[in-house]
Amino acid sequence: MENTLLIGLSRQVTLERQMDVIANNVANVNTNGFKADRSLFQEYLMPTAREDNFAPGRDRRLSHVLDRATFHDFAQGSPDQTKNPLDVAIKGDGFFVVQTPEGERYTRDGGFQINTQGQLVNASGFQVLGNNGPITFQQTDKQINIASDGTITVLEGTNRIDSIRSKLRIVNFSQPQRLRKEGSNLYSIGEGNAAQPDTKSTLAQGFIERSNVNAVTEMTRLIEVSRTYTQIASMLQQQHDLHRTAIDRLAEVPA
């Protein structure tokens, strides 16, 4: 296959992957605590060129495009005040911890609620963990208050005694880029990573962290990628047409 086709196809493959990443970002523009993904590309230089007769005696290196990786953009999303006492936003690099059937998972989505068993759960119904395990409230608990350090207090019973129920477990990671998205706005820890208590992040009760996806920017990127893909497809088609025309004309030459 000719060099032009190889280089063009390498760019189209990376553009297709980039379009998938951008489309996923756009789909989650309204997902609480969602962190956008970004594509990372690298130039790959082929050591030799094929069918290069323009520089006799030396080969020219060909520049291909390599889709190296996708990384997480952990920039802080904007806080939105809801005045719901069970909504909590993290200011910092921390993550909430929830218990799932597959084990502990991590999220930035602080839109919590209380289930029929009195347990604090996330939007998917998974238990939100405190430092001592699942967080459970009693039917007589009133006025839930969540402090900036995650301590949860309530006014208990008719005597309205201020009681501590638990403390939200907030963690960060030694290598946050190794976190893996698993759907339902959750992350798993990934290989070679370690969770550790977060002592720097603070919490804001009555707020929710919105997605850090900028819809206008992502739509602009989506249009740019789509146009570039179309331009390369047109270029490859023109190259194909040139070769076909050359072959047809050579076939007309008398033997």
Express each pLDDT in 40-67 by its tens digit: 765 555 555 555 554 554 556 666 566 6
151 band by pLDDT with thresholds 50, 70 and 90: very high
**What was the pLDDT predicted at 1?**
47
* Separation of alpha carbons 247 and 255, rounded Å: 14
168 band by pLDDT with thresholds 50, 70 and 90: very high
Residue 116 pLDDT exceeds 80: yes
Domain-wise residue ranges, the chain = 3-74+213-252, 79-209
CA dihedral 27, 125, 102, 198 (to 10 degrees): 80
**What was the pLDDT predicted at 233?**
77
Burial class of residue 169 (count of CB atoms within 10 Å of its CB; 0-12, 13-18, 19+): buried
227 band by pLDDT with thresholds 50, 70 and 90: confident
pTM: 0.79
**What was the pLDDT predicted at 191?**
85
Q: How far is CA 118 from CA 53, 100, 129, 228, in A?
A: 77, 17, 13, 53
* Separation of alpha carbons 162 and 180, rounded Å: 39
**What was the pLDDT predicted at 39?**
83
**What was the pLDDT predicted at 96?**
98
Residue 239 pLDDT exceeds 60: yes
pLDDT digits (tens, 9 = 90+) for 190-222: 888 999 999 999 999 999 999 999 999 999 988
3-state secondary structure the chain: CCHHHHHHHHHHHHHHHHHHHHHHHHHCCCCCCCCCEEEEEEEEEECCCCCCCCCCCCCCCEEEEEEEEEEECCCCCCEEECCCCCEEEEECCCEEEEEECCEEEEECCCECEECCCCEEECCCCCEEEECCEECECCCCEEEEEECCCCEEEEEECCCCEEEEEEEECEEEECCHHHCEECCCCCEECCCCCCEEECCCCEEEECEEECCCCCHHHHHHHHHHHHHHHHHHHHHHHHHHHHHHHHHHHHHHCCC
Residue 13 pLDDT exceeds 50: yes
Angle at CA of residue 40, ends 93 and 94, nearest 5°: 5
**The token pair that represents 200 in the structure block:** 């720097």
* Separation of alpha carbons 25 and 34, rounded Å: 9
Using only C-alpha atoms, the chain has a radius of gyration, in whole angstroms, of 27
**What was the pLDDT predicted at 238?**
72
Q: Which of 2-16, 81-95, 161-175 ranks highest by mean pLDDT? A: 81-95
**What was the pLDDT predicted at 225?**
86
Residue 140 pLDDT exceeds 50: yes
**What was the pLDDT predicted at 12?**
73
